[in-house]
Amino acid sequence: MIKSWSRTLVAASLGLMFTSSVMALDNAHVAITQIVEHPALDAVRQGVQDELLEQGYVLDENLKWSYESAQGSPATAAQIAKKFAGDNPDVIVAIATPSAQAAAASARGIPVIFSAVTDPVAAKLVKGLDQPGAFVTGTSDMSPIAKHLELVLKVVPGAKRIGVIYNPGEANSVSLVELVKLHAAEMNLTVVEGAATKSSDVQTAARSLVGKVDAIYLPTDNTVISALEAVIKVGEQNKIPVISADTESVSRGAVAAQGFNYYDVGRQTGVMVAKVLSGTPTSDIPVEGVEKVELVVNPGAAQRMGIELPSELISMAKTVVK
């Protein structure tokens, strides 16, 4: 297989110019690793694939696509990363922080494009957002925490104490919770933490908040979102509204979310992957954030959790789950 960057060098030496569609005719191997399967991260993966198709990379024609899920296990993520490093693909796409960290540690010079990583600097994936360094770059889904807490107060006016369930072993989640505490203090909100180091701990963490909080806020934590239904059950049984940072969670039973469309995040990531396949070094591709947020609400879920959503909030929503 001729690597696309090798072809770029040959073309340059001959004084020839290739369009991106011509470059796409080379066989490309993209290996994609994902920490766990849940709708938001699955949407990222689909977005990457669809963007590559639009860029001229057709599965099983000029694109080899390898995919592995770590099923929530960082140890498995490390094993997948080592396997992919041995396979020597053109690009490794790593979805979520644990998979990105594992891929960066094992890639041995293979370009790594991460997606849905909250704080890539704190996760030690890149040196800086504008100058990420050699071999690793991607898209960050740093949540607009202040907007999320404002949404909590719109959903539950007068709330004083909010519960936050997260995995303290996930670097992105720790960064988010620190931001929650910072902005909550500015809004006179008290944060009560519920720790869940694995998916089976999520329900216990949710139950630990009963009687202590007015609402539960879920950050974009992969461990928690993969076990969302356990939190929804506790919220419905105890009339505690559950608000999420993940918009996909609303169709699964959360009351509301103001967040990113993760399919669009995947498309944005796919553009970066295509650049690398056409010969652009990762060091020349700055880390990108996601600016656009969408409001999604679920009035039925609100009723099951003992509240009624304000009509003005419903009218502002891009999507109202029936």
Over residues 187-215, the pLDDT tens digits come to 999 999 999 999 999 999 999 999 999 99
**pLDDT at residue 143 in the model:** 86
59 in helix, strand or coil? strand
Closest by Cα among 181, 301, 297, 293 to 231:
301
Predicted TM-score of the model (pTM):
0.73
pLDDT per position as a tens digit, 98-155: 999 999 999 989 999 999 998 999 899 999 999 998 899 999 998 899 999 999 999 9
The Cα 37–Cα 39 span in angstroms is: 7
**pLDDT at residue 77 in the model:** 97
Sign of the alpha-carbon dihedral angle for 112, 72, 262, 187: negative
**pLDDT at residue 172 in the model:** 83
**pLDDT at residue 170 in the model:** 87
Report residues of the chain scoring pLDDT below 70: 1-26
End-to-end CA distance of the chain: 50
pLDDT per position as a tens digit, 136-148: 999 999 889 999 9
What are the angstrom distances between the C-alpha of 255 and each of 138, 146, 295?
31, 18, 11
Closest by Cα among 249, 6, 250, 285 to 120:
285
Domains of the chain (ranges; CATH) run 4-141+261-284 (3.40.50.2300), 145-259+294-320 (3.40.50.2300)
Closest by Cα among 63, 60, 97 to 81:
97
**pLDDT at residue 9 in the model:** 34
230 in helix, strand or coil? helix
**pLDDT at residue 260 in the model:** 86
